[in-house]
Amino acid sequence: MRISVDNAEVGNFTVSANGLTDYTVDLSIAEGSHSITITNSAAYSTFFCGRMLVLDKVTVVWTAPTTTTPTTTTAPSSDCVVNEYQASYYNNTALSGDPVARQCETSVGGYFRSAAPVSGVNTSNWGAQYVGTIHFPVSGNYVFSADTGNMAVRVWLDGQLVIDKGTVSWGRNLAAKNVTAGDHAVQVAFWKSSGDSFEFFSVSQMGPGPASTNGNYFSADSFWNTPIPADAQIDSRSDGWVAMLGNQNGISLNSSTWTQPIYVAPAGTPTRAIRITNSNKYLTVPYLPSYRASPDGDSALIIVDQAKGCAYELEMFNNSSSAVASASYHAYTGTGGHTSGPAHAGGELSWLAGLIRSSEVNAGGINHALRYALPIGSPRFAYPGTRSDGTTPGGIPQGTRMRLDPSLNLDQFALTPFQRMVAIALQNYGGYNADTAGVLAVATENTMASAPFNLPLSGLPQALIQHLQFLKPTVASTDIRLDEQADQTCAQQQ
């Protein structure tokens, strides 16, 4: 249910109640007459029954306005290193008194649901304040993104208010700022009363990067296309995470289901408007009737628009021209990451970037990181990931880079040529935790639409799991460019 006042959205609720239930929107509004619009959007699929919304009444209640938040404030000090945030958690929504927990974190927010964010904090009526000295590597435009679910959020840069959403709400909050290169104070505060909630924050560079010259999608400096540095550090939690994966039979390979077909649309391809149901907006993309989604519960596909240099990733797509979620990427000059919001994938990381394609296998090598999914994803995320749909406390944050021990002699495992190619890619480029799945898995492009692979496809043996290493997060969101919905270079939901 979406509520708009004077054509501006002020509330967005997922209605799951079976009886009359109050839904409240707080807003500041001028005296006089205003138009109120209430829109119901019901999702229909093979998994969900349709629901009807019965509207009983709309009541407007006036309360005294709260004190205006100063546009300028002094950022609290932080005891964490550059590019880490000091996160302070409070058992109140005013963020007052002494925090009940304080720790250094590399990213801001998480998929909190109805649980406590950390031990000792309430499950409701709590707040958090993140303060960090963040390095902005280049001068230019940066986008501040706060994807907010049932929370209030405010963001400051060097004491200047950038995002001000001081009432509990649902929505995607974006603000562009021109920032000079150097270290700057970034402060994020958010709080909630009750119910399921999330907060996913990032601040990232805007603009294109240099295109790859080796046939890879996305920019040459993309985190997907950059080999793992020789001095990469293993995360202190790595051994525990590997132990949690000890019951896996191997690293599975998705090739015909639970992976996406890629359709490359040349210039002049007819377009079609696709209704995106999780936003009730439309996305106009190149489309031919021969395009088919993956034959699984995700019903996903990727369309690469060669004329614009864009990739459109659609989930729960059907041929009646609708999809549940979508994300738009600059396929050649972007990095393959996205600000949180589309919700088409757990970590908001591109499918296209991390798939194993027939062209590269047939050419003899995979020169990019792989996209992996697993069943023990954390509710937290690590940049370059910008959100999470994980639910395992103490699990692996989405966005975490994994590799196969680079010193491991692969000759001892009797791998097939394809398995060896994948293992070498995991040693050199690794992979990024990008989604939740029933098993640990990587994926090829869906063979329903690909050119033939000249090697037999299979997953990796169980013996390799004990040699996996999860790396310490080192990417700050300011280090990378993230696609975002305000950029109209690629088609966006309208």
Question: Locate tokens 């040349």: which residue?
Answer: 266
Distance CA 473, CA 325 (A): 28
What whole-number distance in Å separates Cα of residue 168 and Cα of residue 488?
A: 29
Predicted confidence (pLDDT) at residue 51 exceeds the cutoff of 70 = no
pLDDT at 53 over 60: no
pLDDT score recorded for residue 339? 95
Q: What's residue 285's pLDDT?
A: 96
Look at residue 6 in the predicted model and tell me its pLDDT.
63
> pLDDT tens digits for 140-185?
999 999 999 999 999 999 999 999 999 999 999 999 999 999 999 9
Q: Supply the pLDDT for residue 61.
A: 42
**Which percentage of the chain shows pLDDT scores above 90?**
80
Does the pLDDT of residue 383 top 70, yes or no? yes
Query: What are the tens digits of pLDDT across the range 396-417?
Result: 999 999 999 999 999 999 999 9
Edge-to-edge strands, sheet with 2-5: 8-12, 2-5, 36-39
Evaluate if residue 37 carries a pLDDT over 90. no
Instruction: Give the model's pLDDT for residue 54.
Output: 54
pLDDT band for position 320 (cuts 50, 70, 90): confident
Per DSSP, 483 falls in state B
Q: Are 371 and 423 in contact (CB under 8 A)?
A: no
Average pLDDT over residues 252-275: 97
- Paired residues of 37 in beta bridges: 4
Residue 367 CB neighbour total at 10 angstroms:
16
Residue 14 and residue 50 in contact, taking contact as beta carbons nearer than 8 Å: no
pLDDT for 206: 93
45 pLDDT more than 70: no
pLDDT at 315: 96
Q: Please tell me the predicted confidence (pLDDT) of residue 71.
A: 61
Give the angle 468-352-469 at the CA atoms, nearest 5°: 10
Place 72 in a pLDDT band, splitting at 50, 70 and 90: low
**CA 337 from centre of chain:** 8
Sorted by sequence, the CB contacts under 8 Å of residue 125 that are 6+ apart come out as: 91, 92, 93, 192, 193, 194
- Distance in angstroms (rounded) separating the CA atoms of residues 114 and 95: 19
Pairwise CA distance, residues 229 & 232, whole Å = 5
Cα–Cα distance between 24 and 11 in angstroms, integer?
Answer: 8
Coil vs helix vs strand at 239: helix
**Is residue 88 within 8 Å of 129, Cβ to Cβ?**
yes
User: What's the pLDDT band for 30 if we cut at 50, 70, 90?
Assistant: low
CA 309 to centroid of chain Cα atoms: 21
pLDDT score for 69: 46
Closest CA to 128 of 158, 175, 79, 93: 93
pTM above 0.95, yes or no: no
d(CA 401, CA 478): 18
Q: What is the pLDDT of residue 66?
A: 36
* Residue 87: φ, ψ to 5°: -100, 120
The count of other CB atoms within 10 Å of the CB of residue 57 is 5
C-alpha distance from residue 276 to each of 217, 309, 315, 461 (Å): 25, 21, 9, 39
CATH architecture of 85-205: Sandwich (2.60)
* Annotated domain spans of the chain: 1-65, 85-205, 238-479
